[in-house]
Amino acid sequence: MVAAKSTTTERPALAILGGKPAFAEPLHVGRPNVGNYGAFQERVADMWDRRWLTNAGRYVEEFEQRVAALIGVKHCVATCNATAAIEIVVHALGLKGEVILPSFTFVAAANALQWQGVTPTFCDIEADNFNLDPERVASMITPRTTAIFPAHIFGRPADIEALTRLAADRGLTVFFDAAHALGCSYQGEMIGRFGRAEILSFHATKFINSMEGGAVVTNDDDLAHRLRLMKNFGFTSYDRTDEIGINGKMTEVCAAMGLTSFEAMPEIVEINRRNWGAYRDGLKKLPGISLIEYSTAEQHNYHYVIVEVDSQQAPLNRDELLLTLHRENVLARRYFWPGCHRMAPYASLYPNAGSCLPQTERVAGRVLALPTGQTITLEIIETICEIISAAFSYAGRIRSLSLTQAQS
Ligand SMILES: *Cc1c(COP(=O)(O)O)cnc(C)c1O
């Protein structure tokens, strides 16, 4: 017990109240999960000997094949990151006008659209799964709308069925941001198989990582072909381009990392699931705090431990708890506060967007991502849960302090 570590009962050990931080080193959300270092080294040595570092190398091809096989999709086109992958898809599909997406997502999704000259139109989410609300999407379609771009936030699938039907009925393209959802299923089918294409991220903080990396997965042969050209400057042969491309290639060293991480997937899922369960058990008696759940009927990567803090029930609100955790060196994150619509440039482009996004604002104000993954032990989780419990016990004192403290 954190509070019990204190020598006197009057003075709680919480760092925010003057105690020593529970952890000497910061605990980050999204600290990379890694695979077998020896396997990575072997690949790097081989790549080194062959002097093949990028451009359709052996490891990129193998990584693409393994990802495509896992998902059960015809094509996986690896890229340097997911943001570039989104841009290349938008460009390849020739999307113009407005594209509807959630505001409750990572800002890269909106930025990739905006950077391609497409207007990101932020739509509200459903209260229970934090993903696009199909009815609200329908009400936001205008004559300028060309596509719907839902995300599977925290790996929980969007309402793929309703959104796909809506897109078909209204003659729109639908493609998904699956950056969180590798290894997750929807109605028994792996995410990555839906819509015109789905985009994966292999950034260091993601479930499976290639340091930096992304991919587009699709069953569309023509689209896959064009994505391959476009990520390599548009070259169709040595000295010829048929259209404008960009450099969006994944390097061999990144693919070597991606393969090594991919091989560790069962172990990573196991640890994530264990950690998720430990947090859930450790927090279940506390009022107004709950973990988001993952359907046991589906496959899931359990990569995100997200708590919701209901300030009506809990003695502290989310930001007070955040500050308390940060003082203990538990660097919990408010994903995805404040919502894209409250970040530049969108905040000034759409100053009133918040009034159309009530669930986004509500959810963004109560979520907190906690550290998990390979480096987080059950002992660490026990301590974090004790910190939260102690924070609730000393809520009155924390409240009076934190009102006067600047938010980090
Ligand atoms: C991480 C992330 C991205 C961007 O991925 P990068 O590979 O870092 O470019 C896009 N969308 C969502 C939802 C993400 O979490």
DSSP track, 229-294: HHTBTTEEETTEESS---B-PPPHHHHHHHHHHHHTHHHHHHHHHHHHHHHHHHHTTSTTEEEPP-
Whether residues 80 and 224 share a domain: the answer is yes
Whether residues 57 and 189 share a domain: the answer is yes
Q: Note the pLDDT of residue 402.
A: 64
Domain-embedded: residue 365: no
Residue finishing a domain among 244, 263, 282? 263
From the CB of 109, is ligand 1 less than 6 Å away? Answer: yes
List, for residues 259-302, the tens digit of each pLDDT value: 999 999 999 999 999 999 999 999 999 999 999 999 999 999 99
Return the ligand 1 atom nearest residue 212 CA.
7
Q: Note the pLDDT of residue 1.
A: 46
Q: Is 155 left (phi over 0), alpha (psi -120 to 50) or beta?
A: left
Whether residues 235 and 140 share a domain: the answer is yes
Q: The domain containing residue 217 runs over which residues?
A: 37-263
Under a CB-based contact definition with an 8 Å cutoff, are residues 12 and 6 in contact?
Answer: yes
Mean pLDDT of 21-48: 98
Domain-embedded: residue 121: yes
Residue 112 CA to ligand 1 centre (angstroms): 10
* Residue to substitute in 105, 203, 337 for testing ligand 1 pocket (most ligand atoms within 8 angstroms of CB): 203
List, for residues 190-205, the tens digit of each pLDDT value: 999 999 999 999 999 9
From the CB of 201, is ligand 1 less than 6 Å away? Answer: yes
Please give the share of the chain, as a percent, with pLDDT higher than 90.
95
From the CB of 130, is ligand 1 less than 6 Å away? Answer: no
Under a CB-based contact definition with an 8 Å cutoff, are residues 109 and 344 in contact?
Answer: no
Give the number of C-alpha atoms closer than 13 A to the C-alpha of residue 245, restricted to the C-beta side: 20
From the CB of 106, is ligand 1 less than 6 Å away? Answer: yes
Q: Rounded to two decimals, what is the model's pTM?
A: 0.96
Placement of tokens 């934090």 in the chain: 130
The mean predicted confidence, pLDDT, of the chain is 95
Residue finishing a domain among 263, 289, 311? 263
Domain-embedded: residue 53: yes
Whether residues 220 and 270 share a domain: the answer is no
Domain-embedded: residue 9: no
User: CATH no. for residue 139?
Assistant: 3.40.640.10
Q: Which helix (H) or strand (E) holds 118?
A: none
Give CA–CA dist 330/26, Å, rounded. 6
Give CA–CA dist 240/244, Å, rounded. 11
pLDDT band at 8 (very low <50, low <70, confident <90, very high): very low
Q: Please count the structural domains in the chain.
A: 2
Whether residues 254 and 275 share a domain: the answer is no
Residue 262 CA to ligand 1 centre (angstroms): 18
Mean pLDDT of 299-309: 98
Checking if the pLDDT of 155 tops 80, the result is: yes
Checking if the pLDDT of 320 tops 50, the result is: yes
Domain-embedded: residue 4: no
Whether residues 289 and 316 share a domain: the answer is yes
From the CB of 230, is ligand 1 less than 6 Å away? Answer: no
Q: Note the pLDDT of residue 408.
A: 46
User: CATH no. for residue 24?
Assistant: 3.90.1150.10
Placement of tokens 């790996």 in the chain: 155
Domain-embedded: residue 355: no
248 is written with which tokens?
A: 């969006």
Domain-embedded: residue 86: yes
From the CB of 108, is ligand 1 less than 6 Å away? Answer: yes
Whether residues 67 and 184 share a domain: the answer is yes
From the CB of 177, is ligand 1 less than 6 Å away? Answer: yes
Domain-embedded: residue 311: yes
Q: Note the pLDDT of residue 4.
A: 47
Q: Note the pLDDT of residue 404.
A: 62
251 is written with which tokens?
A: 């390097």
Residue 88 CA to ligand 1 centre (angstroms): 14
